[in-house]
Structure 1
Amino acid sequence: MTTSIDSRRQALREQFPVWIPRTLDAWLDVCAERYGDRPFVITDDVTLTYREVAEQSRRLADGLVALGVGPGQRVGMLMANHPEFVPLKFAIARTGATAIPFNYLYREDELGYVLAQSQCSTLITMSGFAGLDYLSMLDSIAPGWETPGRAGTDGDGPKDLRHVIVFPNDGRTREKAMDLDGLAALGDQNPGAAADMPHTPDGIGDMLYTSGSTGSPKGVQVTHDAVLRTAYGSALTRAYEDGRRILFSLPCYHMFGYVEGLLSVMYVGGAIIPQTSFSAENYFAGIQRHRATDILCVPTMAVAMVQTTARDRYDLSSLTAVLCGSAPAPIWLWETFEKDLGVSEIVTGYGMTECGGAMTLTFPEDPLELTSTTVGRPKIAGSAGVEGSDDLVRYRTVDPQTGEPLPAGETGELTSQGPTTMVGFHGKPEETALALRDGWLYSGDLGRVREDGYLEITGRSKELYKSGGELVMPKEIEDLLAARDDVSQVFAIGLNDDRWGEVGCAVIVPTAEARLTEEDVIAYCKEHLARFKVPKRVLFLDADDLPKTPTGKVQKFRLVEQATAAWKGTQR
């Protein structure tokens, strides 16, 4: 970097001395004025400037309004990281409607559920992706979907769905169905239709569905202002330089790609380099070709990048920064990343969709030990933060059973409070009331806030169970068994038991050559754990048999069902 971290942060603070709440589209218009001819979206096939994205978003918004889209409605997006995603996202904001970027790996039943639960009135969809045929799915979910203004009924698919617009990314479309070019042409016939659509910074701009790792996906409603504050906090904490370029393949239906990539670069007139899928070599090629300065990844991606020798064939000299999140990673990985890829600013973070995205980050100037042992401290957000503070959010811990606040430094359920917290879960008032209490968001994550403000994550409160009347923390058992050479993956869960009320079960994926038995596992736990923590049952599974969400997270509640069924089968 040509300037220091401190000077880069100071430049951002000076640019935003007072926070001005804006809608997403209004912020795009500000950026188009400031950075009009700068690249905003860069791919191998096309580059879009800030001005071009703004202009395209207006045409598309005018087309959507002509179809009847407006405030209070919800527009779904089944879109991978194609450049078209960006103007579409801002176009929906211009109409005053709520954008719902759906997980495009959903299967038919999952897609049908979220389309109905979200009360989506308009869907913009790819024709297909990664072997999935969305047009065929829609034939089953919403027969007659290609007819504009279709009248849904309770017995005929999602009853609110009126329009489906196809992005023919694989060359396929349908007769009668409108495509993106048709939507833009409709906008040209109705210029200015979206210009006066009422919407405000504190209105709901996005609804993002949780992964469903602990139950059915929930639609998290967040405001325009909330995601922009979170994005500014990222730019400030990570000390973005003018014109930063961030490459990522993480999907924009998730806060990671959307906020940490797309929205955050706007604060320095930077660009995103989105990719539709990950491979280490694709990342290297993109860095070299487009001179990326920053990448977003998760630990498995980082491991793939350091383990391949393909990097030796690429010029990665532009790369100086990486944000790696979603799971902890060992310090050796970051030391290797720094040494082999020449990256000097390595950070990790923590957050959840309900918070408005990542709320904590390690700082680029932090020692790598903090990147491996913590998930960072609250983002600094300057004028965008909690009133009277420089931080984006406040954290505290509470007793996971009673909800009572715990003394500073004690382990408990992490709760947070700040200006980016969700409005609530769509259509789920009872679950909203459980998550939001007295202005605090209850995360379901267990951890502690250290004296230096950094957070340590220790597990999930929903995964705690009682054995012999004592509370058991699954992560302690998982960490013990995961350290064995013959264990590839392990998950500790609680199962209902007629005698004990609840008993522990270790679900284990052994390594390929392992000869592990239930007796081995229980004996090993007895050597290292208090008696009440020792699992009474062990279930061995292949990795392919683990129940997962579309994004690959293991669903522990389904593991409980699986293990319960397996146990009952042995009792017959």
Structure 2
Amino acid sequence: MNIYQQHLDPVVANYESLSPLSFLKRTAEVYPNKLAMVHGAVRRTWSETYTRCRQLASALSRRGIGVGDTVSIICPNLPEHFEAHFGVPMVGAILNSINTRLDAATVAFILQHAEAKLLITERELTPIVKQALALMDNPPPVIDIDDPSFAGGEWLGEMTYEQFIAQGDPEFVWSNPANEWDAISLNYTSGTTGDPKGVVYHHRGAYLNAVSNALSWGMPNHAKYLWTLPMFHCNGWCFPWTIAAIAGVSVCLRHVRADKIVDLIAEEKVDHFCGAPIVLSMIAGIPPEAKARLTHPVKVMTAGAPPPAAVIQSMEEMNFSVTHVYGLTETYGPCVVSEWNDDWNSCSTEEKARLKARQGVRVPMQEGLMVAHPDTLEPVPQDGQTMGEVFMRGNIVMKGYLKNPKTTEASFEGGWFHSGDLAVWHPDGYIEIKDRSKDIIISGGENISSIELEDTLYRHPQIQDVAVVAKHDEKWGEVPCAFIKLVEGATLTEEEVIEYCRQNMARFKVPKKVIFVDLPRTSTGKVQKFILRQWANNAS
């Protein structure tokens, strides 16, 4: 009888479903008195954080929220947001963290589409949240976070977050999900057409990507992590769960401002943070006296458009080590890392920056990565020149899109996840993004759909034809540039177009440049966006 004939099936003694919730329990048991959370005067240990998460879970359970229910949160990077990443899934519910920069109509759509049973929010967000709730037929009940770091705003709910969790049992008994494939969170991504899509993560993927973060970045136990990256963005790239795994310290940051970042790095001895290239540019631009305060090594993980070489050089001169990563909402955040090779240490500063700007190779917990022909899935030559689409597969690819089986099936066709991003494959196995077939503009780390902007602009009565492309920007990486043809006799100005956009979309999506021109089209009527990109980047 060989080993496969013995029917050695998993049993309780040798199998447990993977869930990042187990990281929190272990760390609270092993390091109960280690610092876990810093937010102004608030300093909590891992034992205290674990207790608050259990209270949140218990309070949710007593309200009848459980397996399969969605709890939404729209909130800055506060301790309560971190706690929701554990307390919500402890009862089998699904955390839906909403982008704080969205307009009210989009927030309302997300709450409706996600079927949120409860919304946790904070007073700074009440103007948008109040409008969003007013747009809904059956808005969810609201719990308000009363944070002392923000003065003003109004409460929209029946009680505060502190009052809510006070109803919960600090000894609440919870367990990992029976099935690690169960959903843990729901994140909405900007689609190229129509409404945003709901991306569903499972416990297994969240667990593995949390570990992958630590491995690919070489994070030690008790690392001090500054929350410059929004927790709403792919669940903060799964870093709430990573920080629990390594018994690290979460240093909260309400607003991403260079002076505050420097203060916290210096005062709290922060040694790791993530962010878009714009964050690096902000830090690189601080005055010399501020730079003098930064005396210890700091690791930075950045994604989006590659940081300019001058910014990378400036950061490294300040003893900041920059790691460039790439991923999508559909891959739990970073699934590709520009792994540094010590053989490159002797390269010039410019060459190092060029190498670091490449997207890289698959992270430890990602099973497959390739650049291939989008129709045949035949890998392209690794010559650094032949273009193809980026494909991924493995445990850190989403479950699928919520209520959208057709799009889910299409995105997984051929056994690979189709990213829609175009890249070349270098001889050393590193990929480098060259274009985005989905026409998504990445500005300051935020995804902006060009088609969404075009649809909004088309609604203006004086606009006849429009196309939006990415324009390179030293500060934001990319910004939207709108090409517009007016109806005959119209006299619309650039300033009027920009003001119209401000009234009809989130501020970060507003085009930074408007050019009036007849759009170049192919014989079949398709806009030649590659020409528009050239025009945009040649425009002042």
Among 226, 232, 251, which residue is 2:211 paired with? 232
Q: Name the residue aligned to 2:360.
A: 376
Q: For 1:204, give the aligned amino acid.
A: A
Bigger shift: residues 327-336 or 283-292: 327-336
- Cα distance 1:458–1:357, how it changes in 2: closer, same or farther (>3 A)? same
Q: Does 2:163 match 1:182?
A: yes
Among 229, 240, 246, which residue is 1:268 paired with? 246
Q: Name the residue aligned to 1:421.
A: 397
Q: Name the residue aligned to 2:131.
A: 137
Runs of 5+ unmatched residues, structure 1: 1-17, 143-155, 386-391, 465-473, 476-490, 496-502, 512-520, 522-538, 565-572
Distance 2:61 2:294 in 1: 44
Q: Which residues of 2 match residues 7-156 of structure 1 at below 5 A?
A: 21-129=17-125, 132-134=126-128, 136-137=130-131, 140-142=134-136, 156=137
- Cα distance 1:328–1:334, how it changes in 2: closer, same or farther (>3 A)? same
C-alpha displacement of 1:422: 0.5
Q: For 2:54, give the aligned amino acid.
A: R
Counterpart contact for 1:211–1:551, Cα < 8 Å = no
Distance 1:510 1:258 in 2: 25
Q: For 2:298, give the aligned amino acid.
A: T
Distance 1:311 1:210 in 2: 40
Counterpart contact for 1:23–1:93, Cα < 8 Å = no
C-alpha displacement of 1:445: 0.4
Q: Name the residue aligned to 1:405.
A: 378
Q: For 1:369, give the aligned amino acid.
A: A
CA-based RMSD of the aligned residues comes to 3.9
Deviations 1:502-543 (A, max 9, x none): x996869799xxxxxxxxx9xxxxxxxxxxxxxxxxx99569
- Cα distance 1:135–1:303, how it changes in 2: closer, same or farther (>3 A)? closer
Counterpart contact for 1:74–1:122, Cα < 8 Å = yes
Among 221, 241, 249, which residue is 1:242 paired with? 221
Q: Give the SS at the match of 2:88.
A: helix
Q: Name the residue aligned to 1:12.
A: none
C-alpha displacement of 1:394: 1.1
Distance 2:69 2:429 in 1: 40
Distance 1:361 1:229 in 2: 15
Counterpart contact for 1:53–1:86, Cα < 8 Å = no
- Cα distance 1:215–1:374, how it changes in 2: closer, same or farther (>3 A)? farther
Deviations 1:14-36 (A, max 9, x none): xxxx9975223222101212222
Q: Name the residue aligned to 1:291.
A: 269
Among 310, 319, 341, which residue is 1:342 paired with? 319
TM normalised by structure 1 equals: 0.71
Counterpart contact for 1:446–1:460, Cα < 8 Å = yes
Q: For 2:335, give the aligned amino acid.
A: M
Deviations 1:276-329 (A, max 9, x none): 111111110010110001222211221121122065365212333111211112
Among 394, 398, 407, which residue is 1:431 paired with? 407
Deviations 1:81-122 (A, max 9, x none): 011212222100101011000112222211111111111111
Counterpart contact for 2:338–2:356, Cα < 8 Å = no
Counterpart contact for 1:508–1:541, Cα < 8 Å = no
Counterpart contact for 2:370–2:392, Cα < 8 Å = yes
C-alpha displacement of 1:187: 1.2
Counterpart contact for 2:265–2:271, Cα < 8 Å = yes
Bigger shift: residues 359-368 or 282-291: 359-368
- Cα distance 1:52–1:370, how it changes in 2: closer, same or farther (>3 A)? farther
Q: Name the residue aligned to 2:523.
A: none
Q: Give the SS at the match of 1:419.
A: coil
Q: Name the residue aligned to 1:223.
A: 202
Counterpart contact for 2:234–2:329, Cα < 8 Å = yes
Distance 2:65 2:235 in 1: 27
Distance 1:249 1:35 in 2: 25
What's the % identity of the aligned pairs?
A: 22
- Cα distance 1:430–1:285, how it changes in 2: closer, same or farther (>3 A)? same
Q: Name the residue aligned to 2:232.
A: 253
Q: Name the residue aligned to 2:527.
A: none
Counterpart contact for 1:82–1:274, Cα < 8 Å = yes
Deviations 1:126-185 (A, max 9, x none): 1333xx52563255134xxxxxxxxxxxxx235xx3x32222335666587132122213
Q: Does 2:418 match 1:442?
A: yes
Deviations 1:250-296 (A, max 9, x none): 2101027342x423233332112121111111110010110001222
Q: Does 2:278 match 1:300?
A: yes
- Cα distance 1:240–1:198, how it changes in 2: closer, same or farther (>3 A)? closer
Counterpart contact for 1:412–1:446, Cα < 8 Å = yes
Deviations 1:458-498 (A, max 9, x none): 1122349xxxxxxxxx99xxxxxxxxxxxxxxx99999xxx
Counterpart contact for 1:349–1:376, Cα < 8 Å = yes
Q: For 1:362, give the aligned amino acid.
A: S
- Cα distance 1:22–1:330, how it changes in 2: closer, same or farther (>3 A)? same
Q: Does 2:328 match 1:352?
A: yes
TM normalised by structure 2 equals: 0.75
Distance 1:308 1:19 in 2: 51
- Cα distance 1:266–1:195, how it changes in 2: closer, same or farther (>3 A)? closer
Q: Give the SS at the match of 1:552.
A: helix
Deviations 1:194-240 (A, max 9, x none): 63685532211011111346542111001122122112112112111
- Cα distance 1:193–1:281, how it changes in 2: closer, same or farther (>3 A)? closer
Counterpart contact for 1:355–1:441, Cα < 8 Å = no
Q: For 1:54, give the aligned amino acid.
A: Y
Counterpart contact for 2:220–2:246, Cα < 8 Å = yes
Distance 1:311 1:70 in 2: 52
- Cα distance 1:175–1:457, how it changes in 2: closer, same or farther (>3 A)? closer
Q: Give the SS at the match of 1:226.
A: helix
- Cα distance 1:38–1:185, how it changes in 2: closer, same or farther (>3 A)? same
Counterpart contact for 1:397–1:448, Cα < 8 Å = yes
Q: Name the residue aligned to 1:146.
A: none
- Cα distance 1:416–1:275, how it changes in 2: closer, same or farther (>3 A)? same
Q: For 1:321, give the aligned amino acid.
A: K
Q: For 2:41, give the aligned amino acid.
A: D
Counterpart contact for 1:81–1:252, Cα < 8 Å = yes
C-alpha displacement of 1:364: 4.9
Bigger shift: residues 21-30 or 112-121: 21-30
Q: How many residues align?
A: 456
